[in-house]
Structure 1
Amino acid sequence: MDTTFTPNAENLPRHIAIIMDGNGRWAKQRGMLRAFGHESGVKSVRETVEACAKLNIGYLTLYAFSTENWNRPRLEVDALMSILMNSLKKELPTMQKNNIRLNTIGNADMLPDRPKKQLYDVIEQTKTNTGMVLTLALSYGSREELTAAVKEICELIKTGQLDTADINENLIGSHLYTRNMPDADLVIRTSGEQRISNFLLWQAAYAELYFTNVLWPDFREKDLHEALISYQKRERRFGKTSEQLK
């Protein structure tokens, strides 16, 4: 594929979401513990974040830890939490330099106290930044998100604050974790797996999906560019015909 990339400002996705997959396999191929793969993936996060900021992408969401990941071996979960805490601390200067605002979606209350404190400290310190919004999906599951939204709406109906006739797509969207973000335009998954694994099920309804065989620790700026080249070659119809778009 031609990796020469000239950004077309009028056809860049506003919101890119990435399922960062393949850390464990990357480590296994090298005879190392899975935790080493997660640590190596931090470099890919840094390069991808900086590349997106350079292209003036408005929103970047990274699937960092799912609700299902709590079921992994305790040693791996502890390692992931430690990597999260250390990475947030180390990457704060990079976020400030690039005017990036940190955000999170998911049930952050489930995080251990120290990583949770570090997360909210960085969110607080970057809250006035006006550039790209970097969202970490932590303890996140789309089904859990939708279930929580339904419960909130039911409670409003129960207390008479809302009528069932008021329920529409906009109302549901206003009760999701992503209520202050646009829907995803491009969802990238690394490692060759071709599924979205309970990630942004509502918000990715019309997203373009891009799957690459590159394992996450090997994902670099050129790989992001290849995904964007693919995105820019596609016709996004949103249910319309090609003739209607023309």
Structure 2
Amino acid sequence: MNLREQVDLDNLPKHIAVIMDGNGRWAKQRGGLRIFGHKSAITAVRETVEAAAELGVDYLTLYAFSTENWSRPAGEVTALMQLLVSSIRKETSTLNKNNIRLLTIGDTASLPSSCQKELREAMDITKNNTRMTLVLALSYSGRWDITQAVKKMALEVEQGNLTAGEIEESTIAQYLATAGMPDPELLIRTSGEQRISNFLLWQMAYTELYITDLLWPDFRKEHLYKAILAYQSRERRFGKTSEQLIK
């Protein structure tokens, strides 16, 4: 029985988040520039999206560019933005054909105008698709997300539309960039790093973490299946005891 056949389709995480790490190291191991690793990672993205959609995952969020990534060398950032534009342009028709909706989270207003244009067009073309939602986290960080949510709530309080007593966890969730989406149940991080790197800080309170030493450009469908199988082998208690779950 192959890995895909072992996946319990009745126990899939509704939302999978991925920190796609290791492109630079992958390129360095092969004597190439970092952008070579980023370009080579497109196959990993394509296979992961296809596999998730085929299984029936509802949401797949990819950490594509963090707010901290702006501090990288200017040449690499420019090349990344150009790669983003060309990739979106090439992949939009495939997403549409496969009934996949594209969304973004993050401070996208800080992206180059060409990136914003391609993103708007791709999201408009795919907006009615229902098979799966692919979310690109661009110029995103968890602290940015919480900060912008607090600012929005403060403005609502100033305008008299919200009181401090009305603010609960569910209220905060409505102001986050992921409003309307389920929290991720599984986080996959490649390259072996043991941290969540300022990603979906509020949303990952009870997310199961799966960390692999594999570098992102080498990630393929079978690796997604392996991560999901690891998720399905765990007992998710949400603060309760095992005995409470059985009752």
TM-score band, normalised by shorter chain: over 0.9
Cα distance, 1:4 vs. partner?
A: 5.8
> What is aligned with 1:230?
230
Q: Which amino acid is the alignment partner of residue 70 of structure 2? A: W
Superposition map of 1:1-246 within 5 A: 3=3, 5-246=5-246
For the residue of structure 2 that corresponds to 1:174, the secondary structure is helix
By how many angstroms is 1:7 displaced? 2.6
Q: Cα deviations across residues 139-167 of structure 1 (Å, max 9, x unaligned)? A: 00110110111111111112211111000
AA aligned to 2:103 is N
Q: Report if aligned partners of 1:5, 1:229 keep a CA contact under 8 Å in 2.
A: no
Structure 1 segments of 4+ aligned residues over 6 angstroms from their partners: none
Q: In structure 1, how many angstroms separate the alpha carbons of the residues matched to 2:6 and 2:138? A: 33
Q: Deviation digits for residues 51-90 of structure 1, max 9, x if unmatched?
A: 0000010000000000000000011001110111111111
CA RMSD across the alignment: 1.0
Name the aligned partner's letter for residue 48 of structure 1. T
Secondary structure (helix, strand or coil) at the match of 1:17 reads strand
One-letter amino acid matched to 1:151: K
**Deviations 1:109-166 (CA, angstroms, capped at 9, x unpaired):** 0000111100110000000111100000000011011011111111111221111100
User: In 2, Cα distance between the equivalents of 1:233 and 1:200?
Assistant: 23
**How far, CA to CA, are the matches of 1:54 and 1:79 in structure 2?**
31
Gap regions ≥5 residues in structure 2: none
Structure 1: runs of 5 or more not aligned: none
Letter in 2 for 1:166: E
SS in 2 for 1:101: strand
Whether the 8 Å CA contact 1:5–1:225 is kept in 2: the answer is no
Q: TM-score with structure 2 length normalisation?
A: 0.97
Query: CA–CA distance in 2 between the matches of 1:165 and 1:239?
Result: 26
Counterpart-to-counterpart distance in 2, 1:114 and 1:160: 38
Q: Percent identity?
A: 58
